[in-house]
Structures are given as C-alpha cells and as structure tokens.
Chains A and B, each alone.
Chain A
Amino acid sequence: MTTAPETTDPLAQKGKPRPIKAGVDDLVEVRMTVNGTPAVLSLPARVTLADALRDHLGLTGTHVGCEHGVCGMCTVLVDGQAARACLLFAVQLDGADIVTVEGLGRPDDLHPLQEAFGRNHALQCGFCTPGFLMSSYDLLSTKPEVTEDELPEELSGVICRCTGYRNILTAVRETHEAHPDGIPAPGNCAHRALVGRATGQGGGSTDGREAGEDTAAEGTRRIDIVLPDGDPTIAVDIETEIGVPVDAVWRVFDDVHLLARCLPGAELTEDLGEDHYGGRARVSVGPIKLSFKGVAHVVAHDRAGQRLRVLAQGQDTGGAQTQADIVLRTEATATGTAMRAEAKVYLTGRIAQFGRALAGDVSRRMFEQFADALREAATSGQAPSGPVKAPSALKLLFAPLIDRIRTALRRGRRTAR
C-alpha cells in the first residue's frame, strides 16, 4: 500500500512529489491541480497522465494518438510548460499543476488561439487540435519573441494527419500578431467538479473528498452541496405564463412531494431532514439513458419574496455527475402567474460531451413540461396522474430540432418577403 504521509490539504505539498513506495499491484495516491481544480486520484503506477485525465477525470479533450511521444496529440501544460501526457506517468506528477485544452477557454469565451484556429479553418478533423493549441500556447507564452520563420520548426512537435499545417501556422501567427507581448492566460481554470468514467475514481472537490463518496451505494446521506466556482455547463433562464393564481402555485411549492412529482423523470425517495431530500431522476435523450441518484436541498422557501431556491446534486452509475442551482420566482399577473426559472447546471463526465446548445434546448423543454405539470397540480390541487414521465427519447430529441427548423423557416420566409 502507499505510505504517503496523510495531509488534509491537497495543496499542502504542492510542487513537491511526496516519497512513496508502491508494489506492482498497489494503487498510488496522486494529488494534482487540474484546470484549477484540486484532484485526488488513486492509480496504478503505470497509468499515464493522458489516461488519468481521460478515464479518471473525464477530461477527454486531451487526445491520445501514438502513446509513445511522437504525434503530440496529448500535449498539455505541466507546471506551465507543454509536455506529452503520454510520456508521463500520472504518479510522477504529485503536486503538479496541469492545464488541459478544457482549461484554455470557455465555450462562450474562447481563448484567442481557439478563435484563430476556428477562423482560419485550422481544425480540420480536430484530432490534433488540442495538441496544437497547447503547444502553441506554450510557445507564445514562453517565447513571445518567436519569429514567423521559426514557427514551423517550433510547432513540429505535433503532427496533423490532415496536413492542415498552413492554416495552423496562420492561426498561430495571427494570434501572435494580435498579442505581441504575450497571449492571455488560460481562461477556464476554476474549481469545478471532475468525475471520470472509471468506477470509483474522481477528482476531489475542494476539501479533497472524492466525488464518488457523495452518493454511497447504500442509502443517501445528507451532504452540503458545494457548487463549482466556474461557469455552468448550461445556464437556463426561462419565463412562462401559468394560468393559475400565485397562491395556487405556492400551494404546490409548499408541498415538496407534490412539487417533485411535477418534475419530469424525478422521484423523491427520502426525507433527510432540514430541507434535504434524497431522490432519483431519469433522463433519456436518444440512446443515452441516465439515471441520477442524488440529493436536493431547499435553501430558500420565501413565499413573501416569491422565491424558491433549490440546490441539487446527482451522480449516475456511469460516472456522469450533475449539479444544479435552481431559482424559481413568481409574480402575479392579470391572467395568473408569471413564473421565471433560472438554473445553472454543471455537468461532468460523458454527459458533458453533448452539444451544449442541444443540452440547453433539452433543459428548456423539461422546464416547459414542469410548468405544464405545475399548472395541472395547482389547478387540481393534487399531483398529475402518476409521476410526470421521464422526458421521452424521441420527443425530447426532436422537439428542439423541430423548433429550430420552424424558427429557421420563419426567418427564411421573412427574408423571402
């Protein structure tokens, strides 16, 4: 077993690998910071950093090509310098600071390098892109005096099989010209939840606790839900009109069990006390079926202020994790109630691989279903007949698409006129 000295703070030993002795079959504990988030892993010594990032932390942006240091697909920043993630054993990186392509820019605020790659068609099939981005970030940040003539040689550590080199060089050159005194730092490094695909593995949250232990197999424990600091994966802000008076809506809000039955696919299984509830939620989109088990905490139930705030956290067996901060506000109108929902949803693991726009559409659709159910519950004073069905595969998948097509057609017609 590992003989690492115990420490409560994962960053206490930052920068210095701790002495360790591990047998062939032992797991070695590794503590590192990945994209600003402290992570604690327990791994066999032969697992490379590339595999640790992909399989144990769910960060599949780092691509794996040749696995012996030739192709450069797996390039990441280790303590601020580009390195091949396939040529490093993760156990060697105890205390290291890692930045992957996920940490470089945010979906809504890409790093200038990412912008330039997109603008110049420097992505092509996209497989080498993470490697080129991280390698060129390292180049422009450590050698801002690099000349255009030196670029091909400096970027020769990554291979593009589409032979898109001209466009890649143009993208790097443009970024360099736009930022002659050094390029902006990676823009997406903050504390967030990291959960991998391998069972029992995960990045720790800020207190070093492994994410996997939040939802133990037997029963549910009441936990404090700590949301990540970074930007949410999906931000939903929707308003809808419900044709029933505010009082009737709040009668549903007052009854948590009734409220839960209005949520598509959700089910309350346990009352954990102090406004904490254990429950399950099923979501299926196309072939993807996720069954989350988790905890919800009603943090604010303010009838006078017309505001209900719920924090939720769930994990599915495949390692996908979701956390959400949901605020519902009501306001009386002439015809009934205007309800506004703001939700910040954080997704990790394979679920986060979805196109974010589509995930946003799905969330909006789910909220509409919730509003319909709420209307029914508020009108009848009882739960909708049976729990609201889990959002069905086809309907959910196609409804947003049909919506989009309709919008596009409408726009098209308008232009035609």
Chain B
Amino acid sequence: MKAAPFAYVRPSTLPDAIAELASTDGGGKVIAGGQSLVPVLAMRLARPETLVDINSVAELDRIGTAGGYLEIGATVRQRRVERDPVSAAVPLLGMALPWVGHRELRSRGTVCGSLAHADPAAELPAVACCLNAELVVTGTGGARRVPAREFFSGAMTTALGPSDILTAARFPIAGRGEGFGFAEIARRHGDFALAGVAARVRVRGAETDAELTGFGVSDRPVTCSAGGELATALSECGGDVSRLASTLSGPLTAVAEELVDTDGDAHASRDYRRRLFRTLASRELSKAYERARRSAGEVNP
C-alpha cells in the first residue's frame, strides 16, 4: 500500500507554512511526525494534493513551562516529552504517554499531531480534555487559543480550519493536592483502546473535585458532567480507600450510561465497553484520590 502522489513543501518559517497551506485551498495537509497520517495515506483513505512538512520550522520545536502551563510545540516528539524532566509538571501526560502506540511510533509521533488527528480512541486528546488544556491554533488571521473540550467536534474532526496549524498545546501544571489516574484496555499494548479513562482529582481541605474523561467510548473524548457526584462519592469514603469501590459504583454506572454512547464494533459491544469503563474509572479515580491526598499532605507518602 503506497500513498498516492502528492506535492511536498518544507518551509522554514511558520508564516510560510500557513501561506503554503492556505494556497492549497483545502487540498493540503500538515505533516509533523506523520504516525497517524501516513497509514491513512498508505491506505489511500486520504489523498491530499500537498503535504506541508513543518519539521523545519524551528519555533515549533520547543517544550517548556510558562505561566502555569507546560507548552509543547507542534514538532516535539512524544518520546522527547516522555523523557524530558520538565514533563513531570504534568503527571497525567507522563502516565498516558507509555500507552500511546509503541516506542517506535512515539519516536516520531508528536503530541500536537495526535491532538490534531483527533482519533476518538487516542490517549492524548483524552488527557487534553481531562485537564482542559489550551490548544494554540495559528492560521492566516493569527493565533488563537481553543480549550480542548471545545476543540474536538467529532471523530477525527476538530476546530482546525483548512489553513490552520495546531502550533502548540498548553497543559496546566499540576498543583498541590492534585492526583491523576490513567488506564486503558486494548487488544494489544499500544493498539487503540477499546475503552480508556483519564482521571484528575483535587483535594483541598474538606473540598474534593473530580474530572473523568473517557476515550474509545464515543466519537470524541468525553468528559463527564457529573464530576460533583464523583467528588461527593470520593469524599464520602472518609479516607477509607477500601470503601471507594462501593461508593463510586452508583455514580459511575450513571456516568458510563452518559459517556459510553458507541454502538460497539467487532471488538467490543456497547455494554462491554460500559463495564470496562466503570471498572477502569473506579480503579483510576481511587488511585487519583489517593495520590491527591498524598500530594495535599493528608496522608504520609
């Protein structure tokens, strides 16, 4: 399976890249790592007229913290994020990255590329939604920041316009009292998830917050609107972690009903995915809660 012929442009500045993309009149596609795009090209599911390779745009190759965010440029490889100590500022990213494809794919695949590709079963869009990261979108009219929960509009569909480039992703740095959990079930490690969850819990004195995002269960990463109920269930256990599973069971059944809306496929039915989701969510919320309490100093590390 070979890609159909395409024109190839490798500009060295961001304005040039946007101009090249705009000049293709919708027939262009941005390539950075290409680990999601090339299979689609090889199977000829997509036949862009022009590929705009942004790897020579120096300003997109940066990773660092600023203003409470970890900012990752468009050409930063997943494996670099995984290994860079600066990523420790966003623990959920560190938990999710080992699940993204295989090492061989993470060597080339980029964080922003995975977000822009917006596969509903992919890990990084779920992380972005769970943390409500800011996605920096640059187009002919300049740059704008789109909250992750508004960025994904459907399977492989995003807020990106035909001449927009996702130039950076900004993940909020974890504060004191925050804990995270991440897990997925796939047929083989590294494959797309049948179902997966990303969880974030914050404990501040008597107050507990929870965010839970599911992926592989709908046409986009979905974040539950019942965070309050989950937080209540978590705080009800009164620090007794062994009771968490039973207190979470009720609210999670409702959350699974709400979030898991896929019709199912050859690999797993909707009901099976709901059960997977409930089990994973219960487990990861509990872990996140424990980590949050430890981070808040309520239990000894």
Q: Do A and B bind each other?
A: yes
Where the two chains meet, the residues of A that have a C-beta atom closer than 8 Å to any C-beta of B are 16-26, 28, 44-46, 48, 51, 67-69, 72, 75, 78, 81-84, 86-89, 91-92, 94, 135, 138-139, 153-154, 156-157
Q: Which of B1-29 contact A (CB under 8 A)?
A: 1-12
Q: Which residue of A lies closest to B186 (CB)?
A: A156
Q: Which of A25, A67, A138, A157 contacts B105 (CB 8 A)?
A: A157
Instruction: A89 to B35: give the CA distance in the assembly, Å.
Output: 11
Query: A91 and B107: CB pair below 8 A?
Result: no
Query: A20 and B9: CB pair below 8 A?
Result: yes
Residues of B within 8 A of A153 (CB): 189
Residues of A within 8 A of B39 (CB): 68-69, 87
Q: Which of B153-185 contact A (CB under 8 A)?
A: none
Residues of B within 8 A of A44 (CB): 5
Q: Which of B12, B49, B104, B189 contacts A24 (CB 8 A)?
A: B49
Q: Which residue of A lies closest to B38 (CB)?
A: A87
Instruction: A51 to B11: give the CA distance in the assembly, Å.
Output: 25
Interface of B, secondary structure class, is loop
Query: A89 and B104: CB pair below 8 A?
Result: no
Which listed segment binds A: B50-58, B115-123, B209-217?
B50-58
B259 within 8 A of A: no
A-B pair number, CB within 8 angstroms = 117
Residues of A within 8 A of B34 (CB): 87-89, 92
Known: A19-B10, A67-B2, A92-B55. 4 other contacts (CB 8 A): A17-B55, A46-B6, A48-B38, A81-B79
Where the two chains meet, the residues of B that have a C-beta atom closer than 8 Å to any C-beta of A are 1-12, 31, 34-35, 38-39, 41-43, 49, 51, 53, 55-56, 79, 101-105, 107-108, 188-190
What's the least CB distance linking A82 to chain B, in Å? 5
Q: Which of B4, B79, B104 contacts A84 (CB 8 A)?
A: B104
Q: Which residue of B lies closest to A135 (CB)?
A: B104
What's the least CB distance linking A78 to chain B, in Å? 7
What's the least CB distance linking A112 to chain B, in Å? 20
Instruction: A86 to B1: give the CA distance in the assembly, Å.
Output: 10
25 A-B Cβ contacts within 8 A? A17-B55, A19-B12, A45-B7, A46-B4, A46-B6, A46-B41, A51-B2, A67-B2, A67-B42, A68-B39, A69-B105, A78-B108, A83-B104, A84-B108, A86-B38, A87-B39, A87-B105, A88-B34, A92-B53, A138-B104, A156-B189, A156-B190, A157-B101, A157-B103, A157-B190
